Structure 1
Amino acid sequence: MFKTLDDLDPEQRVLVRLDLNSPVEDGEVQDNRRFDRHAETVRELAEAGHRVVLMAHQGRPGGDDFVSLEQHADILASHIDRDVGFVADTYGDDAIAAIDALEAGDVLLLENTRMCDEELPEEDPEVKADTEFVRTLAEHVDAYVNDAYSAAHRSHASLVGFPLVLPAYAGRVMETEYEANSSIATREFDGQVTMVVGGTKATDVIDVMNNLGDKVDQFLLGGIAGELFLRAAGNDVGFDLDGMDFFDDQWAENRETIESLLDERGDQIKLAVDLAYEDETDDRGEIAVANITEKDRAYLDVGSMTVDEYDPIIRDSEAVFVKGALGLFEDERFAVGTTGVLRAIAETDCFSVVGGGDTSRAIGMYGMDEGDFGHVSIAGGAYIRALTGAPLAGVEALKQD
């Protein structure tokens, strides 16, 4: 297991990796829950008298969201109630001068790590540890903290290089995310374990089912992946219509595996009994799956009868995990499935983890309280890898220390 902030010596100059990757609209960085989550780690370090040097990334080179972190510093400052300095440099003379000038309790954010050429290529930790980026910064700090669980599946320099050359620790986000997201594999539950599985990628669903089939009693399906499983069960859905590119390629790649899962684990898998669509008046319409004789429209959510069937299963569970949305919840007309299962979880005294990219956003969008859930993950790819049993490069690097 890795060390945490509880093990960190006092009065250190600490290099901290966060994940502040955010939506950017018209050049303006949008505040989001990642700032609030990481604020706990940053605030704790600063209040303890450490000199805090922060690293984070934003977007990828060439993308519209590939911007400087200057705005991120201001947003983070509002969450920790103290100034956050910013330097438009990652490890050059300006960055080093700013790091060396820090006083106890000061917080400094370095420029976007992905503006450094040595950051992005996926390479072994030993290679990353030998980069000029890592070697230069390591000489000016005492310890490294990785709080970026949501980026921990990447073998980038700022995530896997520093633990090989510095005393390394997990921040509070890393610690809580790792414990919660690994719990389905590491904890023993006496009662029923249920997993709500949706989203757009059938391979994610397949990998999760294959890895957790012996630990999960019921899988409740929805989303594009759920529609592909309905097709495998003999229903006239799960096809692309003109202008679509969601189903046919995934069906060709995964048909045999999906059919095999239904055959081997059919008693564990619950499929939608009705689906929702946009009707002629632009309102929500619903149709029973059994009444669909030919797919002639896009289905954008599971239907109300499906939610009614899923609801008691959730309420009878000791633990519920959510991976992916059951519908296009960003449109209120098609949020019934996703919000229906989330409200059932919130009203149930069960252990729960909600994750999978943007799915957790539905909690705030529809007036639910994160406090009613065991854990709401801010991770996407890392959450999926944890559920499928794949190692996370950033976590493994911390464990090596």
Structure 2
Amino acid sequence: MFETLDDIESGNRVLVRVDLNSPVEDGIVKDNRRFSRHAKTVRELVDAGHRVVVMAHQGRPGRDSFVSLSQHADILAEHVGAPIHFVDDVYGESAVEAIRGLDAREALLLENVRMTDDELPERDPSVHADSAFVRTLAPEFDCYVNDAYSAAHRAHASLVGFPLVLPAYAGRVMEAEYEANTSIANREFDGQVTMVLGGAKATDVIDVMTALDEAIDHYLLGGIVGELFLRAAGHDVGYDVDGTELYDHQWEANEERIRELVAERGDRILLPTDLASERDGERTEFAVDGVRKDHPFLDVGSDTVDRYGAVIEDSSVVFVKGALGVFEDERFADGTVGILESIASTDCFSVVGGGDTSRAIELYGIDEDYFSHVSIAGGAYVRALTGESLPAVDALCRNRDDRG
């Protein structure tokens, strides 16, 4: 296990890696729960009398979302409740000068770390530790804090390089995410354990189902994944129509594994009994039995929501990965929102993961307090569920072991 903010003495120069990667519309960075979550770590460090320097990324080179972090500094400052200085440099002279100019209880945000060539390549931590990026910044600090759990599946320089050369600790987001997202593997639960699986990435869902094996009593499927499993069960759905490109290639890549899961765990896998499509601009529901797919299905139907809700009501533990429909369109939010509301009304331990699903909570005004944990991670959440290692978490754990 790693050390946390509780283990850092006051008055240090602290380098903090967070994940503020956000939607960008017409050049405007949108506020989201990542800012509010990471602000708690930054605020705690500032209040403890540290000089705090924040690193983060935004988008990838070549994409419209690849922008400066200047707007992020203003948004983060609002959540922290204190000024966040900004320097449009990652580790050059301007950055070093700004870092050295900080006083105790002040915070600075560096420019988008993906604007340096050293950041993005997936490399061994020792290689990253020897990069100009890490070798230049590390001497300016007493310790390093990683709070970017949602990026922890990446072996990037800002995530795995600094723990080799500085005492390293987990921030509050990292700590909370790790504890909740690994609970299915690390905790024993009394009562029925249910997992809701949806979204567009069949391989992720299949990997999760394969890894968890007997740990789950019921799988409730929806979204594209649900259709693919219905196809394996003999229904006339789960293939592309009207120019969609979401089903057929995933079926070809995963047909054998899907059929094996249906055969081996069919009694524990619940599939939709009805689906919703758009007809003349309206939501129209169709029973799965006897249906022929001639339009895209965009949600599970009301009977499915009721059946799944009854299972959730009898569950002691519920994990969610992926949406059951195109919830961004209010007409097709019934599945995703209905399941979330069922979980919220049930006294169970619940973890909601995947960026889209957690966004539905915010979009439809569901109180986060009704859930045990709402994850802001996507790929890292999937890796945690499947038991795969996370390079950034491994780096924190090794750092503690090396320091005894």
TM-score by length of 1: 0.99
Aligned to 2:288: 289
Task: State the Cα distance separating 1:129 from its structure 2 match.
Answer: 0.7
Post-superposition Cα deviations, 1:123-182, rounded to whole Å, max 9, x if no partner, equal: 111111110100110010000000000000000000000000000000000000000000
Q: How does 1:1-400 map to 2 (within 5 A)?
A: 1-280=1-280, 282-292=281-291, 294-400=292-398
Q: 1-side partners of 2:14 and 2:72: how far apart?
A: 19
SS at match of 2:243: coil
SS at match of 1:353: strand
Task: State the Cα distance separating 1:101 from its structure 2 match.
Answer: 1.0
Q: 2-side partners of 1:62 and 1:247: how far apart?
A: 27
Task: State the Cα distance separating 1:356 from its structure 2 match.
Answer: 1.1
What are the ranges of 5 or more consecutive residues in structure 2 without an aligned counterpart?
Answer: 400-404
SS at match of 1:22: coil
Q: 2-side partners of 1:230 and 1:213: how far apart?
A: 20
Q: 2-side partners of 1:29 and 1:4: how far apart?
A: 30
Is the 8 Å Cα contact of residues 192 and 319 (structure 1) preserved in structure 2?
Answer: yes
Is the 8 Å Cα contact of residues 277 and 297 (structure 1) preserved in structure 2?
Answer: yes
Is the 8 Å Cα contact of residues 182 and 386 (structure 1) preserved in structure 2?
Answer: yes
Is the 8 Å Cα contact of residues 357 and 381 (structure 1) preserved in structure 2?
Answer: no
Post-superposition Cα deviations, 1:95-130, rounded to whole Å, max 9, x if no partner, equal: 111111111100000000000110000111111111
SS at match of 2:162: helix
Q: 2-side partners of 1:252 and 1:242: how far apart?
A: 19
Q: 2-side partners of 1:3 and 1:364: how far apart?
A: 31
Post-superposition Cα deviations, 1:19-77, rounded to whole Å, max 9, x if no partner, equal: 00011111111111100000000000001100000000000011111111011000000
Task: State the Cα distance separating 1:190 from its structure 2 match.
Answer: 1.1
What is the one-letter code of the residue matched to 2:103? Answer: E
What are the ranges of 5 or more consecutive residues in structure 1 without an aligned counterpart?
Answer: none
SS at match of 1:285: strand
Is the 8 Å Cα contact of residues 144 and 168 (structure 1) preserved in structure 2?
Answer: yes
Task: State the Cα distance separating 1:242 from its structure 2 match.
Answer: 3.1
What is the one-letter code of the residue matched to 1:110? Answer: L
SS at match of 2:224: helix
Q: 1-side partners of 2:239 and 2:138: how far apart?
A: 53
SS at match of 2:153: coil
What is the one-letter code of the residue matched to 1:70? Answer: S
What is the one-letter code of the residue matched to 2:374? Answer: V
Is the 8 Å Cα contact of residues 99 and 140 (structure 1) preserved in structure 2?
Answer: yes
Q: 2-side partners of 1:26 and 1:200: how far apart?
A: 26
Q: 1-side partners of 2:250 and 2:17: how far apart?
A: 35
Post-superposition Cα deviations, 1:243-286, rounded to whole Å, max 9, x if no partner, equal: 11011111111101100000001111000000000012x11100
Is the 8 Å Cα contact of residues 38 and 147 (structure 2) preserved in structure 1?
Answer: yes
What is the one-letter code of the residue matched to 2:286? Answer: I
Q: 1-side partners of 2:172 and 2:364: how far apart?
A: 27
Q: 1-side partners of 2:9 and 2:35: how far apart?
A: 25
Moved over 3 A (4+): none
Question: How many residues get paired?
Answer: 399
Task: State the Cα distance separating 1:360 from its structure 2 match.
Answer: 0.6
Q: 1-side partners of 2:364 and 2:92: how far apart?
A: 45
Is the 8 Å Cα contact of residues 195 and 219 (structure 1) preserved in structure 2?
Answer: yes
SS at match of 1:358: helix
SS at match of 2:357: coil
Is the 8 Å Cα contact of residues 242 and 295 (structure 2) preserved in structure 1?
Answer: no
CA RMSD of aligned residues (A): 0.6
TM-score by length of 2: 0.98
Q: 2-side partners of 1:101 and 1:367: how far apart?
A: 42
Q: 2-side partners of 1:12 and 1:48: how far apart?
A: 9
Is the 8 Å Cα contact of residues 354 and 360 (structure 1) preserved in structure 2?
Answer: yes
Task: State the Cα distance separating 1:357 from its structure 2 match.
Answer: 2.0
Task: State the Cα distance separating 1:314 from its structure 2 match.
Answer: 0.3
Q: 2-side partners of 1:55 and 1:320: how far apart?
A: 34
What is the one-letter code of the residue matched to 1:377? Answer: S
Q: 1-side partners of 2:144 and 2:125: how far apart?
A: 15
Q: Say which is worse superposed, 320-329 or 360-369, in terms of deviation.
A: 360-369
Task: State the Cα distance separating 1:321 from its structure 2 match.
Answer: 0.3
Post-superposition Cα deviations, 1:195-218, rounded to whole Å, max 9, x if no partner, equal: 000000110111000011211100
Q: 2-side partners of 1:260 and 1:205: how far apart?
A: 14
